[in-house]
Amino acid sequence: MEGKIMLQGTSSNVGKSVLAAGLCRIFYQDGYSVFPFKSQNMALNSYVTKDGREMGRAQVVQAEAAGIDPDVRMNPVLLKPTGNSSSQVVLMGKPLRNMDAREYHQEYNTKALGVIEECLDYMEQYQVAVIEGAGSPVEVNLKDRDIVNMKIAKMAKAPVLLVADIDRGGALASVVGTLELLDVDERDLVKGFIINKFRGDIKLLQPALDFLEQRTGKPVLGVVPYFTEFKIPEEDSVALERPENETGGSEKQIRIVVIQLPRISNFTDFDSLEAEPDVALSYVIEPHQLNNSDLIIIPGSKNTIEDALFLERSGLSDKIISMANQGTPIIGICGGFQILGRQLLDPLGTETSIAQTKGLGLLDMVTTFEPDKVTNQAEAQVMGRGPFLESFHGQRFFGYEIHMGRTKLGSDAQPVFNIIRRSGQSVNEWDGAINKDGTVLGTYLHGLFDNDLWRRYLINRLRLKKGLAPVEAAETDTLAKRQKDYNKLADVLRNSLNMDLLRSIVFDR
């Protein structure tokens, strides 16, 4: 291996994942083979690889930016929160079991170091490694059991850049404080700082940067601006709290709302919808926010029964049912699909201690949760009918499945898809369900809205329903658009960072 770099942060959500993706693209553009890596990821946005294994979405994005296929060795440990203090532990793409925080941190996480070390050895066949940390490296109550920050930097012999988010305030103090809490040998691994998400006049910030360098004796490699001209997929649900995730404007004539479930997962399913020029997409948590919506989406969930109970307690259930009865289209993805049914059963406690609860009853079906997890890339043909599928009957869609429930349809529900391939193997199985009117539909397939022609067709059907003329797609290739955005991100970083200094750190010159 010719070079390595590790990005650690002063806290969560400072932008490490996006910056790592940008560095992956830069070194890929420069002709290097690049391997992104994060030893342990806590996220509900995940992805299924070609061999049917599950990994964090951030490393999938970084792999795309690096021009290679996602591989679970890029993210050997994935934690998927199921409650306030418990997570499903996924090791090398396969689920182990649910663990509470005490069991994981005190008994298990250090046992994963052997697997992590094997992945680091595999990484050596690449020319450049871009490694990402998690949270803060100086959480003193967890530091002795850390398997994602400084321990990994030492194992990989990787120099570290510390990233701070200046948009949230207190960035300089957080940098100085982080250094103060590091051990001496850890502090020596930190080769500089990146100030991220800056808005304003850089000249006004310069005295603060000078102070930081004088106080720490370490360089600021650059200040990365807050950008909105393009979008890089994010995995942290904190991203949903930002105001720009409720897109408005008079030019956005179609209002699509996504229910922000407490355990929402794979919200990147809706990035392609949000990018459409005439779509105002927002994440909502209260019934009145559904008013005047043209389409309601119930997303995936890591704890479907608990989220179904949230809908009932909040009044969202009654509101969704009322709007569905008035003709508002409803789409459910994965856990959202399950919630659309009549009943949710969990006799073995797979997801929760609650044995059963009712669903919305908008689709005639019942879901039973089982311990075996379905994780596949899938190819499917449209077999459902109705206003949103009719023109696509028989056409092929691509997506991926991540679920633990098995759904049985009643006589008033018809399948949406016929799955013809799973993880490279030929099959012949149905997926999803649609009501008789074709206005309520659900599927286990993530990535549904990344099918470009259907996404535009769906939006145009919504336009026609409002008396608006259809419009042609502004961008008909979601993957091509992401590739352009990775290039734009690389350009921003090249213009913001001291690239000569960065290369000297990465390649130890």
Same domain membership, residue 377 and residue 328: yes
Output the pTM of the full model.
Answer: 0.88
pLDDT, residue 243, reads 46
Same domain membership, residue 187 and residue 49: yes
The residues, ordered by sequence, that sit 6+ positions from 429 with a Cβ below 8 Å of its Cβ are 418, 419, 422
Same domain membership, residue 264 and residue 214: no
How many structural domains compose the chain? Answer: 2
Q: Compute the distance between CA of residue 187 and CA of residue 469 in angstroms, rounded to an integer.
A: 60
Q: Which domain holds residue 363?
A: 254-467
Same domain membership, residue 300 and residue 217: no
Same domain membership, residue 193 and residue 81: yes
Q: How deeply is 336 buried, as exposed, middle or buried, from its count of CB atoms within 10 A (0-12, 13-18, 19+)?
A: buried
Same domain membership, residue 203 and residue 133: yes
Q: Compute the distance between CA of residue 414 and CA of residue 46 in angstroms, rounded to an integer.
A: 28
Question: For residue 187, what is the DSSP state?
Answer: H
Q: Which pLDDT tens digits describe the chain residue by residue (509 residues)?
A: 899 999 999 999 999 999 999 999 999 999 999 999 999 999 888 999 999 999 999 999 999 999 999 999 999 999 988 877 788 899 999 998 888 888 887 778 777 899 999 999 999 999 999 999 999 999 988 888 889 999 999 999 999 999 999 998 899 999 999 999 999 999 999 999 999 999 989 999 999 999 999 999 999 999 999 998 888 887 655 556 544 444 445 578 999 999 999 999 999 899 999 989 899 999 999 999 999 999 999 999 989 999 999 999 999 999 999 999 999 999 999 999 999 999 999 998 888 889 999 999 999 999 999 888 999 999 999 998 899 998 999 999 999 999 988 999 999 999 999 999 998 899 999 999 999 999 999 999 999 999 999 999 999 999 999 999 998 876 557 788 899 999 999 999 999 999 999 999 999 87
Residue 237 within any structural domain of the chain: no
**Three-state DSSP class for residue 4:** strand
Alpha helices in 298-355 (DSSP H): 304-314, 316-325, 335-339
Give the CA dihedral 342, 442, 328, 464, nearest 10 degrees.
Answer: -160
Residue 386 within any structural domain of the chain: yes
- DSSP element (H, E) containing 88: strand 86-91
Phi, psi angle pair for 52, to nearest 5°: 80, 30
Q: Compute the distance between CA of residue 20 and CA of residue 13 in angstroms, rounded to an integer.
A: 13
pLDDT, residue 238, reads 52
Residue 472 within any structural domain of the chain: no
Phi, psi angle pair for 319, to nearest 5°: -65, -45
Residue 249 within any structural domain of the chain: no
pLDDT, residue 476, reads 59
Same domain membership, residue 269 and residue 223: no
Residues marked active site are found at: 334, 446
Q: Please check whether residue 317 is in contact with residue 351, taking contact to mean a CB–CB distance below 8 angstroms.
A: no
Residue 86 within any structural domain of the chain: yes
Same domain membership, residue 167 and residue 118: yes
pLDDT, residue 246, reads 47
Residue 477 within any structural domain of the chain: no
Same domain membership, residue 406 and residue 340: yes
Q: Compute the distance between CA of residue 444 and CA of residue 402 in angstroms, rounded to an integer.
A: 8
Residue 294 in tokens:
């043209």
pLDDT, residue 365, reads 97
Same domain membership, residue 127 and residue 14: yes
CATH number at residue 106: 3.40.50.300
pLDDT, residue 244, reads 43
Residue 244 in tokens:
């720009």
Residue 90 within any structural domain of the chain: yes
Q: Compute the distance between CA of residue 302 and CA of residue 305 in angstroms, rounded to an integer.
A: 9
Same domain membership, residue 390 and residue 266: yes
Residue 16 in tokens:
């490490």
Residue 494 within any structural domain of the chain: yes
The residues, ordered by sequence, that sit 6+ positions from 74 with a Cβ below 8 Å of its Cβ are 35, 36, 37, 38, 55, 59, 62, 63, 119
Same domain membership, residue 339 and residue 272: yes
CATH number at residue 290: 3.40.50.880
